Amino acid sequence: MSEFQNVRFEKIGGVGVITVDNPPVNALGPGVREGVIEALRLGNEDPEVFAFVLMGQGKNFIAGADIRQFGKARPVSTHVSAKALESSQKPVVAAINGFALGGGLEHALACHYRVGSPSARVGLPEVKLGILPAGGGTQRLSRLIGPELALEIILSSRHIAAKEALDLGILDEIVDAKDLKSAAIEFAQKISALRPMPRTSEKMTCLDAARANPQMLSLLDNALSQKTRRLRVHDCVIECVKASLFMDFEEGLNLERTHMAELENSADSKALRYVFFAEREVKKVPHLPPDYEPSRVASVAIVGAGTMGSGIAVCFADRGVPVTVLEASPENLERGLAKIAGLYAARVKSGKLTQSAMDEALKLIQGTLNYTDLAQCDAVIEAVFERIDLKKEVFTQLDAVMKPGALLLTNSSAIDINTMAQCTKRPHDVAGAHFFAPANVMKLCEIVKGDQTSVEVIARAMKMGGDIGKVTVLSGTCDGFAANRSRAALVSEAMLLLEEGASPYHIDQVMREFGYPMGPFAVSDLSGLDVSYDTRKRRAAANPNFRKLHVPDHLVELGRHGQKTKLGWYRYEDGSRVPQIDEGLMPIITALNRELGVEQKVFSDDEILKRLLFASVNEACKILQEGKAYRASDIDVMWIYGFGFPRHRGGLMFWADTVGVQELHRQITQWHAHYGERWRPAELLNALLLSGETLRELRSTAF
């Protein structure tokens, strides 16, 4: 046995077994590619070795390049170690356990054979990081399974399960999961004498595909609609896969590398790589004892089967968790259960779910009118109307019946968690679980910490969210909580711009060009102008300095409530938004502005963007300084998953760093002088100006 850095080499029964051992996921970190090359050299020189097995130690094969190394010099690139595998004189069998992703799959594709355990999952997810598979991935996968499939797999970044990989021809065999190593060695012994050795780079599948379908080039060109093909990386991938049709292999590799050199240092890729790590950080609960393992929520109760409650019930039933739904009256319960069945039926109708899967899910959902039926559930989520008296009553009842240690959660979107906690004798068990509407569709779930919520309860609630497929983020209790409170500043600023003469259509267009799927006014129409009108009324009553938003208030009073009234900022016909501007709207706004006597001006795209986003960055800094969010990067995750912030911009705080703290501070200070209190710079921003730190690395010391 020989030892390399992160790579082991041992000889077993004439087979040289190369094991990548680089925890936690066997990424191709420093030394790994070199180790693989060195092991191949040793084995090729050793007359006792007839074939190789390449495998990963532990749960995974190789999860790809070490993402932290991008932008830094790499002594050996993936295409070099992949080439060493393919040009080995003795055949190499990739033995895939768990994930073979990115450079990991590229190494496997360069091997002569690929076997996998039933739990193997393969994919080329580089596009999600703003780069392309430049270790031969575009060229080899295309030659192995054909360009159309290869393109779909690369552009989607999806993980492919073993069975599909076998059907596609990425795997040659699925072998015994209990002892993959022995099974792979046996396979290697079986094929060791076979010649010629199959080399993916020499396969003709691409040319065959092109000959069979002369329209192939334009087919590949149109692989993405103009709407989704918005990043440079998409064009680069399509170009490389097309090249596999008419360029020889080496030329194709060169093209991959040329594009990679550009993409690796692009702003998009830096942002996307940042998001990768932010998504992992967000799961980490601060101040949690290191050995604490949160238990799984195996049964859940939901109080209130309205729109939110029924959506939440579906989230749990989808993941096989039994749900007990409580309503106040038989009629409400019947209506709620029908709503849940309706959500499933819509999915069956659209072909997203089978009837039998729907039947199975519905069997998990029980209705009740008695609180005692909830007692044994591991968690309860209150989802009644947003009225404090009602919530207090529910929590008093829950406290009386729920078993000790049950999570007592509220889906409130704004009410102070402490209000509900104080109605119980166990405030440490009370937290917020703020789902975003529609709950069964939106990925974000905010777990909200009250003043007395225990860190273990937070960890269990976070795990519960993760277990039902949500991106779960941590927030402190404050009006709107971290996500909506930080976005409210953007929305207010958009409304205030209207008073100064900007048009909602211009603002929406600027935000769409920035990368949002919809502008804030289109979103406002969807959620209903009346909803935010009511919230403003509540806030105005609580705060004498509340800045009235004249334009949306006026529209609500005119009955323009958005899509539901077929008229809001836009017009709606047959349930769809009319893309043209509504000629009737601007005269209403102009007349109101005349009454208000606000000076009118013309806005540039840049000013619109900055007014909206800077307002939220400043608010986010206040949220962090008050300890109502823990990490700035958590806020970025909230914006990406809750509000459609373009992922390739990295999130609100990452984007702000690309503008720079100095410029941010200068502009906010200027607007503070001009517009007054709402633009007062956050103290944290003042501090950053002096310390020179970035926004995205901020962690709240008050959390």
For the CB of residue 124, give the shortest distance to ligand CAA in the complex, in Å.
Answer: 8
Q: Does 280 bind ligand CAA (CB under 6 A)?
A: yes
Q: Does 102 bind ligand CAA (CB under 6 A)?
A: yes
How far is 56 from 463, CA to CA, in rounded Å? 28
Nearer to ligand CAA (CB atom), residue 292 or residue 546: 292
For the CB of residue 133, give the shortest distance to ligand CAA in the complex, in Å.
Answer: 6
For the CB of residue 4, give the shortest distance to ligand CAA in the complex, in Å.
Answer: 19
Q: Does 65 bind ligand CAA (CB under 6 A)?
A: yes
For the CB of residue 165, give the shortest distance to ligand CAA in the complex, in Å.
Answer: 15
For the CB of residue 134, give the shortest distance to ligand CAA in the complex, in Å.
Answer: 5
Nearer to ligand CAA (CB atom), residue 467 or residue 493: 467
Which amino acid type is present at position 350?
A: S
Nearer to ligand CAA (CB atom), residue 103 or residue 304: 103
Tell me if 253 sits within 8 A of 77, measured CB to CB: no
Residue range at the interface with ligand CAA (CB under 6 A); choices 101-109, 186-194, 355-363, 563-571: 101-109
Q: Is 592 exposed, middle or buried (0-12, 13-18, 19+ CB in 10 A)?
A: middle
Q: Which of 15, 32, 53, 67 binds ligand CAA (CB under 6 A)?
A: 67
Nearer to ligand CAA (CB atom), residue 277 or residue 546: 277
Q: Which of 17, 25, 93, 459 binds ligand CAA (CB under 6 A)?
A: 25
Residue range at the interface with ligand CAA (CB under 6 A); choices 25-33, 241-249, 498-506, 513-521: 25-33
Q: Is the peptide bond before 427 cis (omega within 30 degrees of 0)?
A: no
Q: Does 63 bind ligand CAA (CB under 6 A)?
A: yes
Nearer to ligand CAA (CB atom), residue 28 or residue 488: 28
Binders of ligand CAA among 564-623, rule CB under 6 A? none
How far is 543 from 267, CA to CA, in rounded Å? 41
Nearer to ligand CAA (CB atom), residue 611 or residue 696: 696
Name the helix (H) or strand (E) containing 432: strand 430-435
Name the helix (H) or strand (E) containing 101: strand 99-101
Evaluated on CA atoms 559, 565, 567, 568, the torsion sign reads positive
Spatial neighbors of 221 by CB under 8 A, at least 6 apart, are 238, 242
How far is 362 from 658, CA to CA, in rounded Å? 48
Q: Which of 7, 15, 17, 27 binds ligand CAA (CB under 6 A)?
A: 27
Site string for ligand CAA, 68-87 (x = CB under 6 A): x---------x---------
Q: Does 254 bind ligand CAA (CB under 6 A)?
A: no
Nearer to ligand CAA (CB atom), residue 20 or residue 27: 27
How far is 398 from 372, CA to CA, in rounded Å? 9
Binders of ligand CAA among 114-133, rule CB under 6 A? 125-126, 129
**CA of residue 680 relative to chain centroid, distance:** 32
DSSP 550-597: HHHHHHHHTT--BGGGTBSSSBEETTEE-SS--TTHHHHHHHHHHHHT
The bridge status of strand 576-577 relative to strand 572-573 is: antiparallel
CA distances from 486 to 490, 514, 648 (A): 8, 18, 20
Q: Does 262 bind ligand CAA (CB under 6 A)?
A: no
From the CB of residue 557, how many other CB atoms can be counted at a distance below 10 Å? 9
Cα angle 272-130-484, degrees, rounded to a multiple of 5: 30
For the CB of residue 24, give the shortest distance to ligand CAA in the complex, in Å.
Answer: 4
Tell me if 684 sits within 8 A of 617, measured CB to CB: no
How far is 76 from 213, CA to CA, in rounded Å? 38
Nearer to ligand CAA (CB atom), residue 27 or residue 313: 27
Q: What is the 3-state secondary structure (H, E, C) of 355-406?
A: HHHHHHHHHCEEEECCHHHHCCCCEEEECCCCCHHHHHHHHHHHHHHCCCCC
With tokens 């209705």, the residue in question is 367
Q: Does 24 bind ligand CAA (CB under 6 A)?
A: yes
Whether residue 126 lies in the annotated active site: yes
Q: Does 236 bind ligand CAA (CB under 6 A)?
A: no
Whether residue 106 lies in the annotated active site: yes
For the CB of residue 128, give the shortest distance to ligand CAA in the complex, in Å.
Answer: 6
How far is 625 from 702, CA to CA, in rounded Å? 7
Q: Which of 36, 134, 617, 688 binds ligand CAA (CB under 6 A)?
A: 134
For the CB of residue 2, give the shortest distance to ligand CAA in the complex, in Å.
Answer: 25
Q: Which of 43, 56, 103, 336 binds ligand CAA (CB under 6 A)?
A: 103
Nearer to ligand CAA (CB atom), residue 14 or residue 29: 29
Tell me if 320 sits within 8 A of 298, measured CB to CB: no
Specify the DSSP class assigned to residue 305. -
Task: Give the CA radius of gyration of the chain.
Answer: 28
From the CB of residue 387, how many other CB atoms can be counted at a distance below 10 Å? 11
For the CB of residue 187, give the shortest distance to ligand CAA in the complex, in Å.
Answer: 24
Q: Which of 37, 101, 237, 511 binds ligand CAA (CB under 6 A)?
A: 101
Q: Does 66 bind ligand CAA (CB under 6 A)?
A: yes
Give me the catalytic one of 3, 38, 48, 126: 126
Nearer to ligand CAA (CB atom), residue 40 or residue 408: 40
For the CB of residue 650, give the shortest distance to ligand CAA in the complex, in Å.
Answer: 16
**CB burial readout 351-378, b (16+ within 10 A) else e:** eebeeeebeebeebbebeeebebbbebb
Nearer to ligand CAA (CB atom), residue 244 or residue 593: 244
Tell me if 400 sits within 8 A of 370, measured CB to CB: no
Give me the catalytic one of 106, 327, 446, 619: 106
The bridge status of strand 160-161 relative to strand 113-116 is: unpaired
For the CB of residue 99, give the shortest distance to ligand CAA in the complex, in Å.
Answer: 4
How many residues bind to ligand CAA according to rule CB under 6 A?
22
Which residues form the interface with ligand CAA (CB under 6 A)? 24-25, 27-28, 63-68, 78, 99, 101-103, 125-126, 129, 134-135, 277, 280
Which residues participate in catalysis according to the annotation? 106, 126
